[in-house]
Amino acid sequence: MLWNSALVAVGGFFGAIARFGISNWIKQKYPSSFPLATLLINLVGSFLLGYIVGKGWRASWNLLFGTGFMGAFTTFSTFKLENITLHLNKQWKLLILYLGVSYTFGILLAFLGMKAAEM
- Over range 3-19, report the average pLDDT: 97
How high does pLDDT run on average in the chain? Answer: 96
pLDDT digits (tens, 9 = 90+) for 23-63: 999 999 999 889 999 999 999 999 999 999 999 999 999 99
pLDDT digits (tens, 9 = 90+) for 91-107: 999 999 999 999 999 99
Would you say 71 is a known binding-site residue? yes
Backbone angles phi, psi at 15, to 5 degrees: -65, -40
Task: Say how many domains are in the chain.
Answer: 1
Query: What pLDDT is recorded for position 15?
Result: 97
3-state DSSP call for residue 119?
A: coil
- Answer for the pair 57, 114: CB distance below 8 angstroms, yes or no: no
Find the domain containing 46 and state its range. Answer: 2-118
Read off the pLDDT band of 1 (50, 70, 90): confident
CA distances from 95 to 83, 87, 101 (A): 6, 7, 10
Q: What is the CA radius of gyration of the chain?
A: 15
